[in-house]
Amino acid sequence: MAANPTPRVRVPAKAAKGEMIEVKTLISHEMESGQRKDSAGKTIPRQIINKFTAAFNGKTVFEADWFAAISANPYQAFFFKAQESGEFTFTWKDDNGSEYSAKAKLAVA
């Protein structure tokens, strides 16, 4: 692992009630597939982020299970219907047991 995975999320700060918003997330991660070999011909063990979860005000609204086929620096976009103001919590789970998280506020007028 090169550096600590850094999540980046893009959520509109404000939305009208009932408006559909697109949430875009990105996290820096090698997503080592377990298929590559090092210069000595030894298989490099798999280490990917295997799960992405998005919760709004504590309730899970969207989940993605990622497999080895997901590209490095995984990107995930999804939609959310704004109903009330609150806060998103995004969680990424690494094969090595680590968890990375990010938060974003949404104000609904």
Residues forming contacts to other proteins in the complex (CB under 8 A) are 2-3, 20, 28-30, 33, 35-41, 56, 59-81, 83
Residue 36: exposure state from Cβ atoms within 10 A (0-12, 13-18, ≥19): exposed
Output the smallest distance, CB 90 to other proteins, in A.
14
Q: Which CB sits closer to other proteins, 77 or 101?
A: 77
Q: Round to whole Å and give the CA distance between 66 and 88.
A: 20
Residue the block writes with tokens 């377990």: 34
> Given the complex with other proteins, which of 72 and 107 has the nearer CB atom?
72
The residue behind tokens 């009630």 is: 17
Nearer to other proteins, 35 or 101 (CB): 35
Q: How far is the CB of 47 from other proteins (least distance, A)?
A: 12
Q: Name the DSSP letter for residue 3.
A: S
Shortest spacing between CB 28 and other proteins, in angstroms: 6
